[in-house]
Amino acid sequence: MLFTFLAKAAGSSNGRTWAFEAQYLGSSPSPAALVGKKKKMNKKIVLAGGCFWGLEDLIRTQHGVLNTEVGYTGGTNENPTYENHPGHAETVEIEYDPEKTSYRKLLDFFFRVHNPTTLNQQENDRGTSYRSAIFYGNEEEKKEGEDFIAIVNKSKRWKDLVVTTLEPLGIFYKAEEYHQDYLQKNKGGYTCHAIQFDSYV
């Protein structure tokens, strides 16, 4: 523990003695006390499940979610746009606090708000842009995705098997600004997402 003082001193002259006054200002942790403390790191999960407007609007409300951005990933061209994103899926990048939620809990919600059994389609939206996909950043996330797909299939809540793909996460390209928080800016706008089930777990 380190102690901090504010000190005052007076010199001596003509036989006068020194005067010293010290005021305690508090203490600060010693370097040893800081060992083992780590800065809390937020995490991210990148998901695709149809039009990114509706998926973002629902998942942004979940406990522990700090920020969401919509964009494109998984395709063939750099700097994709809404008009030109071959192979890219419309995705939502979700930043979350791992002390308040988890990768598994967000996957649980993801599989409750879109149909993971329709290949390259969510309702009227068709094409690979609208595929159901989990973009994993490491092998642990891939395993969690595999395990949760198994949970969804075992639940028999959907008449068909899950076709959600597990794809390694490459570059996430943020979509145009007018797509961000679209349904917050355009109340009553188009969405094909809704909470359809309670938790799978």
State how many domains the chain has: 2
- Same domain? 112 vs 176: yes
- Same domain? 72 vs 13: no
| Average pLDDT taken over every residue of the chain | 88
Residue 9: predicted pLDDT? 47
DSSP string for residues in 85-131:
-TTPEEEEEEEE-TTT--HHHHHHHHHHHS-TTSTTEETTEESGGG-
- Same domain? 27 vs 120: no
- Same domain? 112 vs 179: yes
- Same domain? 28 vs 49: no
Percentage of the chain beyond pLDDT 70 is 81
pLDDT tens-digit profile of 20-34? 444 544 455 555 444
Residue 38: predicted pLDDT? 58
CB 66 within 8 A of CB 42: yes
User: Does 1 have pLDDT greater than 70?
Assistant: no
Q: Which domain holds residue 22?
A: 2-34
Residue 29: predicted pLDDT? 53
- Same domain? 24 vs 113: no
CB 108 within 8 A of CB 64: no
Indicate whether 200 belongs to any domain. no
- Same domain? 29 vs 101: no
- Same domain? 145 vs 163: yes
Indicate whether 196 belongs to any domain. no
Indicate whether 174 belongs to any domain. yes
User: Does 130 have pLDDT greater than 50?
Assistant: yes
pLDDT tens-digit profile of 141-152? 999 999 999 999
User: Does 86 have pLDDT greater than 50?
Assistant: yes
Is-catalytic flag, 192? no
Provide the pLDDT confidence category of residue 201 given band limits of 50, 70 and 90: very high
Catalytic residue among 51, 94, 106, 175: 51
